[in-house]
A and B are shown apart, each in its own frame.
Chain A
Amino acid sequence: MLECNGCSKYQKTEWNCCPYCGSPSKDFTILTAGEREIFPEAFEPQILLSAMNVANEKAFSLALIQYIQQIIASPANLFDLRSRIVEVYIHCSANPSFLYTRSLWVSLVLASDSYFLTKAIMYRWSSPQLEPLRQKWYQMLAAAFLGLRQDELTEEFIKDWTRDFTELHKCMVRPLMGCHLCQSKCVFQYDVKQFVVQSTDLVEQLTAQLSQSDTATDVFAKVGIEQSNDWFSSNDKDLAYCIATHLISEIDLLSRDASIIISDKIRRLIQERLQ
């Protein structure tokens, strides 16, 4: 990841100057969170190239978001659900057996960095806020995928990371109508949105369901709960509500006005069902 020397804000590689202070891109420095030091042999040109292709695959970046949310839902998932990442890696890679461990590691590093960077810019995080958490994330990945320093990766360690990372997202923003009822503003929006916009089948299915029944509230409460479990192995009330709210905004049937009215009821239903 790149940082501006002038104002220490995160920068994208394709940028020509810092949008905050105007420093030219030659004044950007690379922040290495130790991800290269952990496994330096992996970062050779040939591997980088194939890993870049994997990291750019939508399926792989979604799998990573899913994995992060699953870990947030339950720390044990760091080890329990890593096989899903491997599966998706094999699916996305042109030559999965080619220096497999190294290539998977670099793919994870590149995809993680692009996830962190997008969010850092969106949430206006500074490097002192995010860097410690990014380093810890690579420690977690190294334990799960390279078997390094596993003894340090206690449940406590992961829980601390989860808490601090979630905390970083807290702000007053309400990207959608209905967000005023959410108590985790705004922790889930980016991750949820990546999944919702990919789920055209689900949206179609919901649209059909809605035109047949008049219990829209029930339909949305149910799909929110189901998908938070399905996508993120989570029972979080706010996550389920966030999914429902994003789906409402994806579906053209409801006016903004109508969606405000049903939000209340959906929220209540979700709260009742996820006691």
Chain B
Amino acid sequence: MKCQCETYLLLDWQYCPVCTAPVLITDQSDELKSRGFHRFPAAFAPLSYRFGKHVADQSWFYATFCQYVLLIKFDPTQLVYFRSTLLDRYFCFVGPNPPVATNEAFWCAISLVTDRYFRRRAAIYSWSSSQEQQIVEAWYDLIDLAFLVHEKNTVLETSKIAEWSSRLDEMQTQETGPHLACQLCESKCKYGEDIKFMITNDPLAIGEARSSVEGKSDSQQIEQLAWFARLWTERTLCLYDEDFAFCMSINVADRLGWSPERVHQLMVPIRESCHIDSCPEV
């Protein structure tokens, strides 16, 4: 956080020690409409909100959340297990000894990210507001059980999670993808958004990809591109999915400045390079 006078401020400061201006709490009114608020109002108390929002605003936290939802599709138990990774990311951004309860600020961060994630989905897939409401509410029902403390011990059934995940999957089905090459993809277009976000927010990874394709022949470039996409798929999903790797290849190629025509022309060999019989060596 920074003051108007350019002084760097810690998240829990109430005044700027240099210009003495009070640190204003950003307008919370919108966020109080969050469905996460009603489930745990304490998480949205001003200080907790300040920390939660700071974390939720980090693109890496959002990227991790995208990964979270993806992982659940392939393995519903990740809804519970991946929590520790999310918490890890949370602790990356709060600084030592934050004066807020972790479960409160963390819930606030998760709620804000959830709202953003589904608002974005709704816009991309043109969901009606009732569709959006239903899927978001059902998501909160799941993470509520997984993250919040309850008096009654309700069991979170894996089948419930899988059901939710396949409902989301259906809601993300499209006839055509954003790229010409998408015609070879059998999961249109379930990964494009997340992948684009992850790539845009990891410029160093694109640098790696660029240096590994530079100055190579067409076929070598395709091999390198697919190798990179396969590796990244494994890292993200902890397992291999061909459509995901293919989508990754196309998006990386796009970021590397390959023209849509070129990608279209090379799509068959790219797809073939993404096809593997077993997991690639990481």
Residues of A in contact with B (beta carbons under 8 Å apart): 11-12, 14-22, 24, 121-124, 169, 171-177, 179-180, 186, 252-258, 260-261
Residues of B in contact with A (beta carbons under 8 Å apart): 9-10, 12-20, 22, 60, 88, 91-92, 94-99, 102, 202, 204-205, 207-208, 232, 235, 282
Q: Is the CB of A258 within 8 A of B205?
A: yes
Q: Is the CB of B14 within 8 A of A11?
A: no
Across chains A and B, the number of contacting residue pairs, with CB separation under 8 Å, is: 88
Q: Is the CB of A179 within 8 A of B15?
A: no
CA distance A253 to B208 in the complex (A): 8
Closest to A25 in B: B17
Closest to A16 in B: B20
CA distance A177 to B61 in the complex (A): 12
Chain B positions within 8 Å of A15 at CB level? 17-18
CB distance from B9 to the nearest CB of A (A): 7
CB distance from B84 to the nearest CB of A (A): 9
Chain A positions within 8 Å of B17 at CB level? 11-12, 15-19
Chain B positions within 8 Å of A186 at CB level? 96
CA distance A139 to B190 in the complex (A): 65
CB distance from A181 to the nearest CB of B (A): 10
Known: A21-B14, A22-B20. A122 touches B208 (CB 8 A): no
Closest to A175 in B: B92
Q: Is the CB of B205 within 8 A of A255?
A: yes
Q: Is the CB of A17 within 8 A of B91?
A: no
Q: Is the CB of A173 within 8 A of B91?
A: yes
Contact of A173 among B96, B202, B235 (CB under 8 A): B96
CB distance from A262 to the nearest CB of B (A): 11
Q: Is the CB of B13 within 8 A of A20?
A: yes
Q: Is the CB of B97 within 8 A of A256?
A: no
CB distance from B12 to the nearest CB of A (A): 8
Chain A positions within 8 Å of B14 at CB level? 19-22
CA distance A255 to B235 in the complex (A): 13
CA distance A256 to B18 in the complex (A): 35
Q: Is the CB of B13 within 8 A of A124?
A: no
Chain A positions within 8 Å of B204 at CB level? 252-256, 258
Chain B positions within 8 Å of A12 at CB level? 17
Chain A positions within 8 Å of B94 at CB level? 173
